[in-house]
């Protein structure tokens, strides 16, 4: 498939980006060294210009993808696999341009079925026996499923709103809702704030981890709800079962009743509740853990120290999208393409995380931070739950040298092991759908 044909499959009329003309001049130069070098340097000057443009905006024209982006996409998606080697444009790989490479992955992951890059590579190399007299085809192709950072241009995406699984959207793809309660902690008086958590829920798990790591068990009280939800009323209190609590706020049987007191139809956990005002402060886990760390800076380690917040936020953005929420997008969809999309993103992200952790003990250095706390609940569940329940079976955490070391190190952090119940997690996940059979301990 040529770039022109590729554009047609994307529904875009007209020619590819003018960069292709310069690239083709390098390929057509044959024995003309001067013409080849002129095209060579112009290609990289244009790539330098595009890198500068995309460093400051998500897409070529601004915040929204346009036809111009797609015209460039059909060219650059072939750059490393075809043009760099075949036309000897080997000054840099596309991965040497961070903004361009992220932009390319962002677009590819929207239309992964639009091109068979391996076939396009084979066809291009076979079509030029003058440049490829041996007829062999390179095996290397860029990893277009690797995470990208382009969500940083979308503040709403960065907020990571929503912790309730609300079911399937159009076409069977799974979608997550948005949390309505987005208040702030007003004081640090012991006993004022109360959390409602479920051990099997990864969004609750990150709140439980933060509370335990910071040693706030005597300051923020907790009710632990049962790991299986009522089919009609959702999360439920089951004090009759060992390890689970009654509702110490109002004596309700179901968490939903607390929302109904405030006129809301939501039913998700975690919840952070203010006993003094008798109002829900927040039901967005990402904001709860940041508030807890900011408001109790002297209790336990700082998980989001101000100097590291920009790095933590960048990590959180793609880890949430590709790993935390990505696991759910693979596990709860009924659409094969949506499952495969989430699957590839998930394992590309784990590969990237393994590379990061090859150079440091935790994601941001020698000590765990909020980024580690947010990653941990997903990887804690990967080997014994998600690999089967969500069909994320390409690799286990133990198959990764540095991720597995990181998981072991996280379990040695004060408060982590005591806040992590794999058995309750298995009961919650495997008891939800299908055969209801739960793997034994």
Who's near 325: CB < 8 A, 6+ residues apart?
176
Where does residue 178 rank: exposed (0-12), middle (13-18), buried (19+ CB within 10 A)? middle
Model pTM score: 0.80
Give the H/E segment covering residue 166. Answer: strand 165-168
Task: Identify the pLDDT of residue 148.
Answer: 86
Task: Identify the pLDDT of residue 303.
Answer: 98
For residue 77, the SS3 value is: coil
Question: Which of 204, 188, 185 has the alpha carbon at shortest distance from 196?
Answer: 204
Give yes or no: 364 in active site. Answer: no
Task: Identify the pLDDT of residue 20.
Answer: 97
Question: Which of 307, 276, 270, 248 has the alpha carbon at shortest distance from 188?
Answer: 276
Give the H/E segment covering residue 425. Answer: helix 422-430
For 378, the token pair is: 């997903």
Place of tokens 């495997």: 430
Find the catalytic residue in 36, 83, 328, 400: 328
In order of start, what are the domains of the chain with their CATH numbers? 3-144 (1.20.1050.10), 306-430 (1.20.1050.10)
Q: What is the mean pLDDT of each run of 10 residues along the chain (441 residues)?
A: 93 95 91 93 97 95 95 97 95 95 95 93 94 92 88 62 52 61 86 96 97 97 95 95 96 96 93 96 95 95 96 92 94 89 94 96 97 98 95 97 98 97 92 73 77
193-198 and 220-225: which strand pairing? parallel
Give yes or no: 204 in active site. Answer: no
For 73, the token pair is: 């996409």
Helix ranges (DSSP H) in 296-393: 309-319, 325-332, 336-357, 370-381, 387-389
Find the catalytic residue in 36, 97, 201, 429: 201
Place of tokens 């699957």: 343
Please, are residues 26 and 36 in contact by the beta-carbon 8 Å criterion?
yes
Who's near 251: CB < 8 A, 6+ residues apart?
none
Please, which residues bridge with residue 362 across strands?
365
Give 277's DSSP letter.
T
Place of tokens 């094969």: 336
Please, are residues 343 and 322 in contact by the beta-carbon 8 Å criterion?
no
For 103, the token pair is: 């932009």
């Amino acid at each position: 498939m040529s770039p022109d044909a590729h554009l047609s499959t994307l529904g875009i009329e007209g020619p590819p980006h003018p960069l292709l003309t310069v690239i083709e001049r390098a390929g057509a130069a044959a024995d003309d060294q001067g013409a080849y070098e002129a095209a060579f340097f112009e290609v990289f000057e244009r790539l330098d210009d595009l890198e500068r443009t995309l460093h400051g905006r998500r897409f070529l024209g601004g915040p929204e993808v346009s036809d111009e982006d797609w015209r460039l996409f059909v060219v650059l998606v072939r750059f490393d696999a075809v043009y760099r080697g075949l036309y000897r444009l080997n000054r840099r790989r596309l991965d040497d341009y961070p903004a361009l490479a992220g932009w390319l992955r962002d677009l590819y992951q929207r239309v992964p079925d639009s091109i068979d890059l391996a076939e396009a590579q084979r066809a291009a190399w076979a079509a030029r026996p003058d440049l490829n007299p041996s007829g062999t085809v390179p095996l290397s192709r860029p990893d277009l499923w690797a995470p990208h950072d382009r969500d940083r241009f979308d503040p709403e995406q960065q907020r990571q709103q929503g912790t309730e699984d609300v079911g399937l959207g159009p076409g069977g793809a799974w979608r997550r809702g948005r949390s309505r309660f987005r208040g702030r902690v007003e004081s640090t008086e012991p006993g004022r704030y109360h959390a409602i958590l479920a051990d099997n829920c990864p969004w609750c798990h990150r709140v439980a981890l933060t509370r335990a790591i910071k040693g706030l068990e005597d300051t923020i009280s907790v009710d632990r709800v049962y790991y299986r939800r009522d089919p009609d009323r959702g999360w439920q209190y089951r004090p009759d079962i060992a390890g689970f609590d009654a509702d110490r706020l109002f004596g309700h049987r179901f968490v939903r009743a607390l929302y109904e007191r405030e006129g809301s139809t939501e039913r998700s956990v975690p919840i952070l509740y203010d006993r003094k005002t008798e109002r829900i402060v927040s039901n967005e886990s990402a904001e709860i853990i940041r508030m807890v760390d900011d408001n109790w800076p002297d209790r336990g380690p700082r998980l989001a120290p101000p100097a590291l917040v920009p790095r933590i936020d960048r990590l959180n953005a793609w880890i949430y999208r590709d790993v935390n929420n990505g696991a759910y997008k693979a596990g709860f969809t009924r659409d094969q393409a949506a499952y495969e999309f989430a699957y590839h993103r998930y394992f590309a992200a784990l590969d990237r995380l393994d590379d990061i952790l090859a150079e440091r003990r935790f994601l941001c250095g020698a000590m765990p931070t909020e980024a580690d706390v947010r990653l941990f609940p997903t990887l804690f569940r990967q080997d014994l739950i998600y690999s089967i329940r969500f069909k994320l079976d390409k690799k286990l955490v133990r198959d990764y040298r540095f991720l597995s070391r990181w998981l072991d190190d996280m379990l040695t952090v004060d408060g982590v092991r005591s806040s992590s119940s794999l058995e309750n997690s298995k009961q919650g996940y495997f008891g939800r759908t299908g055969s209801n059979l739960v793997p034994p301990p």
